[in-house]
Copies of this chain bind each other. A is one copy, B any other.
Amino acid sequence: MLRLSKLTDYAVVVLTRLEEAEDGGVLTAPGLAAATGLGEPTVAKVLKILSHAGLVEGRRGAAGGYRLARPLAEMPLTDVIAAIDGPIALTACVDNSIGLCDAEATCPVRGRWDPVNDAIRRALSGISIADLARVPAIVPHPDVVAAE
């Protein structure tokens, strides 16, 4: 389905929540889990990945927690996707990488998806997490409105 993982979804939620509470302080993983309604271990996992990618900064210790490494407006969606789902490439053969495919010599699609990957990267690079956060979370569905 051309889908990306749930973890990426969670990451956006957590990042959005982190910015809302941004007053210079930090938020703990358990606190974020309670605020988002997600499972605590899952939130911790997401935060660890984001920390590894440099999108959030973790501070250890008794008064530790997480805070954003930079404002969400300066955080392109591609960074989050790349951090959690890996490099943005629609097929297993990333761009023109060599040595991964067993039927490399006869593979009829080598390099063929490159323009598609580029198109998607361009489309996504213009969207920041702040753009997603700006969307109202609950949007009335046309069917529901029509049914009323």
Contacts and interface: CB of A to CB of B under 8 A. Distances in A.
Contact of A139 (B17, B96, B136, B140): B96
**How many subunits of this chain does the assembly comprise?**
2
A13 to B, nearest CB: 5
A124 interface: yes
A61 interface: no
20 contacts: A1-B85, A2-B4, A2-B89, A4-B91, A6-B92, A9-B91, A16-B108, A37-B106, A37-B108, A97-B141, A98-B143, A112-B132, A112-B135, A112-B137, A116-B127, A116-B132, A119-B124, A120-B120, A120-B123, A120-B124
Given A108-B137, A111-B139, 10 more contacts: A3-B89, A12-B109, A16-B108, A96-B139, A112-B133, A112-B135, A113-B132, A115-B135, A116-B124, A119-B123
